[in-house]
Chain A
Amino acid sequence: MTGRAPPPAVGTASPAPLRWAREIRLGVQLSVTGGRDAWIRLALVASGIGVAVAVLLVAASWPTMAEARQERHDARSYELDRQTPESTDQTLLIAYADTSYHGESVYGRLLEPEAPGAPAPPGVTDLPGPGEMVVSPELKRLLDSPEGRLLRERLDYSIVGTIGDEGLVDPGELAYYAGAAPDLLSSEETGRSERIDGFGTSRFDFPRGGETLVLALTGAVVALLPLGVFVAAALRFGADRRDRRLAVLRLLGADRWTAARTACGETLIGALVGTAAGFALFFPLRGLVPSVQVGGVSGFAADIVPHPLLAVAIPIGAVALAVGVTLVSTARAAADPLAAARRASWPRRRLWWRAALLTGGTALLLSSIGADPGRFGRVPETAVVGGVLLVLLGAGLVTPWLFQVAVSRARRGGVPWLLAVRRLQADGAAESRAVVGLVVIVTGAVALQTLFAGIQMRYADEEPVPGERVYRTDVPELPPAGAAEVAERLSAVPQVRDARAVVEYWHIEGPNDPVSLRVGSCSALRDHARIGECSDGDVFAVEGTSTRVEEGQRLRIPDADGAATWELPEVKRSVAPRDPSGLGEDPVPGSVLATPGAVAGADLPRSGVSAVFGLDPLTPRAVEEARNAVAELSPMGTTVIGQTSDSERERELDRIGALVTAGVGASLLVVGLGLVISAVERLRGTKRELAVLAASGVDRRTLALSVLAQATIPLAVGLAVSLAVGVPLGAALLRIAEVPVAFDIGGIAAITAASAAVVLSVTVLSLPALAKAIRPENLRAE
């Protein structure tokens, strides 16, 4: 190049890729050398994208985590349907001993090795001896704490070790393996124990309840949508300033695409730093996951590995989204530099396509109502998710239009109000964007809360009346006299009412078909059939059974040692069956009811006792005490079931509820941050005007009130839309889940209160900038 050559104009000197790289580098430079503002913008963009990437990475680990959970679950299971193996030096007797404690289920098994070579379950190195147990870390913590006192009484074994992670479904699981007392377990079919020669089973899928599925789907939509909104909002932080920079570049002679590439360079650095931050954030977040249960599901940190495809797609997607949003949002500044130099005006907002989204979503949801009545787990998922998505997006997009209408209609009010309204009217783009995010999130949250309220209300309706006999327990492997013993033991618990028990024999071989036999006192038998007059020694046949039972028939009752036989004495009469606990059990086919006197000579074997009772007063503690009473009779008799509000499902709902609350909180935080940034930017941009107003005697209170109004108006519009759309949306979802509609006034009040708190915080956080803006120094010409 000679000395006389003209300096290379922008975009003529070198081949395109090189030139582009230089332009992008210029953008990068602009984004880091623009002083404090540029750094703040960069930090905001990076942290916005960082949070989104980290959360998405965790979400992308979900399949891996679910897989790992399932694998561990399968590894510790054993086949029940398989032929029981012969007793060898490789076999183990194992019995189901699950229990519940204040709604938390406890996985429990009793073990009795038949030889030294007996297999150990995963996570257990040495099998516990009689009277000993190994426990999961979480159970150990619970047993050691005062809250676990009643459970400690129930699980009266000495703790000799912990179950390793590989033996637990998730880190929060309560689980124990206890050594059974000698001769407690048998491998008979009738009992609860099994003989196995190893652990591990093939897959078995459990269907989820319909309402939980709707909740989970809505939750997923609500959780992922804001992330997109958040990233888009983060990318627009400080966009005004950037637009002005681009305009300067254009006026200096850069063409449209050069300006666009420079803008991309500026965003790119934020997106890349953000993606890196996201990956960096992912690891501590991963460590946090075991302590957080999502929808009742938790996982080990080691399981949280993003699906490889998603792990690649997320950063690429984040950067692509960043660049895309930048290109779209700078298109106007790049095309018409003078427009950016002028004050931005409102784009014209059209209603029809925004309303169309809302209508489309509503139609989809309405079509899902009653689509498949009566069967949970068969909800039309695609329509529900699509409908929810459309309604949420529609609500979000209708908001800027409503906001604009609301602001341009507002006329009355004092000076602070006037200032705020006019400011929003002149340029409410930032507020409008912030509110879109808010509406999407809060509408979703309100819908979810309505859904909860309905589901919880249903459980509340079904809550048992104190004293009502809806509790049932089954104690395995007791002698025929055990029924009376169980009833007596239960009655010893102060709050237990009307405890009555029968011994149940299933799979009795009769001359025609198998029959079942229940032995109990007259009063206990009345639970099962309308037997009328009764005295010890009587035998009844239950009506309506296909199998005839007649006097003199010989019934063969299998036993560990062979079989006992009992000749059926005179049947007093046929009686109509009853459902003892109202749990919806079908009448037992070929059922015989006998009083203890009638079977006295038969030498019947041990079998399961079923007891029904009520609780009054009805307290969670009473349930636990009843469980303990039963556990004293048999370590395998640890379950008491009944319809209580303290159910597993309820806890799951609570967890999702907590998650929704956290989501709403986080999104309000983001919206608040956006409002603070736009308020502060605006205060700084108009500091001269503000200083003049202050000098002219406008007091600080008036100006602060206008900042308050400026934050209140967008949030109020947003909340109004959220409630107007969210409540009907929740009601529609309740109808889909076939739950009666109910509303959660408390939750809505909480969201409103939280929004008010956000408005106040925004104002308070803007006050320093206001104080700075109205300083007399700003009166001087720059």
Chain B
Amino acid sequence: MSAAGTEAPPPAADEALGGTLLAARGLAKSFGPTTALERASFDIDPGEMVAVMGASGSGKTTLLHCLGGIIAPDRGWILYEGRDLGAMSESERSGLRCGDFGFLFQSGGLVPELSCLENTALPLRLNGVGRRTADARARERLESLDVDGTAHQRPGEVSGGEYQRVSLARALVAEPAILFADEPTGALDSLNEEKVMRLLVDAARRSNTAVVLVTHEARVAAYADREVTVRDGRTRDLAPGAAG
């Protein structure tokens, strides 16, 4: 993540950004000839829920991958709690993703061979929590999302709504500071969409987890506190005050 472009280098931690949990400026990312991101910026406060909207191909998923430390942007910087993601090693970023970040994807995130309980306990076990403790906490989490009945089933044996709720349980079980959700309800019908979204909002609010919610559906985005629109790789922040 070299700041080779015109962007200013990341500010020192105590500067300007104040209480911002995650801040990014001037993000650019190309895949071969395709430019996915071009001068994207982003801020999120602790406990805040921000929807990232945009048409398909607008670069919103790439933005999420950059913010989540899954891929490194070509230009620009990302600060998480004052630490520059670009300056971290791959294993440091892995550790961050495993502990401080949670991820929820549209579908297919669960390991098909593990039971739902084992899937949910996975992040804890990766963080070195013992099997018993991890299982107990995972079970609690499944209960809170009303899917404890699936604990011993395989992901392939549960319904789409349950699948996403188990995925949500896994994303939240390690109590991350930020949850990155990429079209979390994209594969669900309206009823299940609503169920998952309400559970997501509730859980995030209760644990003061910030949520970056990538979606192209206004109905889903409406759960967020505010929207950021990505168009042609650039972000436009629709601040609440701008409406009128």
Contacts and interface: CB of A to CB of B under 8 A. Distances in A.
Q: Would A and B touch once assembled, by the CB under 8 A criterion?
A: yes
B95 A426 contact: no
Contacts of B186: 781
A310 to B, nearest CB: 46
A554 interface: no
Interface string A544-562: 0000000000000000000
A412 B131 CA distance: 9
Contacts of B68: 695
B106 A699 contact: no
Nearest to A781: B106
A362 B68 CA distance: 62
A426 B91 contact: no
Interface in A401-441: 412, 414-415, 418-419, 422-423, 425-427
A692 B109 contact: yes
A423 B171 CA distance: 22
A59 to B, nearest CB: 42
A686 interface: yes
Given A697-B98, A776-B70, A779-B70, A692 B114 contact: no
Most central of B107, B112, B171 by chain A CB within 10 Å: B112
A688 interface: yes
Interface in B40-69: 61, 65, 68
B113 interface: yes
B99 A779 contact: no
B105 A779 contact: yes
B154 A692 contact: no
B77 interface: no
A693 interface: yes
A702 B94 CA distance: 11
Nearest to A688: B108
B156 interface: yes
Q: How large is the interface on B (under 10, 10 to 19, 20 to 34, 35 or more residues)?
A: 35 or more
Interface string B13-36: 000000000000000000000000
A415 B106 contact: no
A699 B91 contact: yes
Contacts of B126: 415, 697-698, 702
Interface string A47-58: 000000000000
A501 to B, nearest CB: 80
A417 to B, nearest CB: 11
Interface in B91-125: 91, 94-99, 101-103, 105-114, 118, 122-123, 125
Interface in B159-175: 170-171
A422 B70 CA distance: 26
Contacts of A692: 103, 105, 108-109
Interface in A700-716: 702
A698 B70 CA distance: 11
Nearest to A423: B113
Contact of A419 (B98, B111, B182): B111
A343 B187 CA distance: 20
B81 interface: no
A324 to B, nearest CB: 31
B118 A422 contact: yes
B163 to A, nearest CB: 12
A153 B194 CA distance: 99
A512 interface: no
Nearest to A426: B113
Interface in A731-782: 776, 779-781
Interface in A379-419: 412, 414-415, 418-419
Interface in B173-207: 182-183, 186-187
Contacts of B65: 695, 776, 779
A689 B108 contact: yes
A426 B112 contact: yes
Contacts, number: 86
A696 interface: yes
B91 A781 contact: no
Contacts of A781: 106-107, 183, 186-187
A688 B170 CA distance: 16
Interface string A199-215: 00000000000000000
Contact of A422 (B91, B109, B113, B183): B113
Contacts of B118: 418, 422
Contacts of B98: 696-699
B95 A697 contact: yes
Interface string A251-274: 000000000000000000000000
B71 interface: yes
Contact of A697 (B101, B107, B112): B101
B112 A415 contact: no
Contacts of A426: 112-113, 154
Contacts of A698: 94, 98, 122, 126
A418 B125 CA distance: 10
Contact of A425 (B96, B105, B113, B122): B113
Contact of A343 (B94, B106, B112): B112
B108 A693 contact: no
Interface in A513-555: none
A674 to B, nearest CB: 20
A781 B187 CA distance: 10
A414 B109 contact: no
A634 B187 CA distance: 97
Given A415-B126, A423-B113, A776-B71, A699 B108 contact: no
A686 B111 CA distance: 8
Given A693-B111, A779-B105, 18 more contacts: A342-B156, A412-B131, A418-B118, A422-B113, A423-B113, A426-B112, A426-B113, A426-B154, A689-B112, A692-B103, A692-B105, A692-B109, A695-B103, A695-B105, A696-B102, A697-B94, A697-B98, A779-B70
13 contacts: A414-B125, A418-B114, A418-B118, A419-B113, A426-B154, A696-B97, A696-B103, A697-B94, A697-B96, A776-B65, A776-B71, A780-B61, A781-B106
Interface of A: 342-343, 412, 414-415, 418-419, 422-423, 425-427, 686, 688-689, 692-699, 702, 776, 779-781
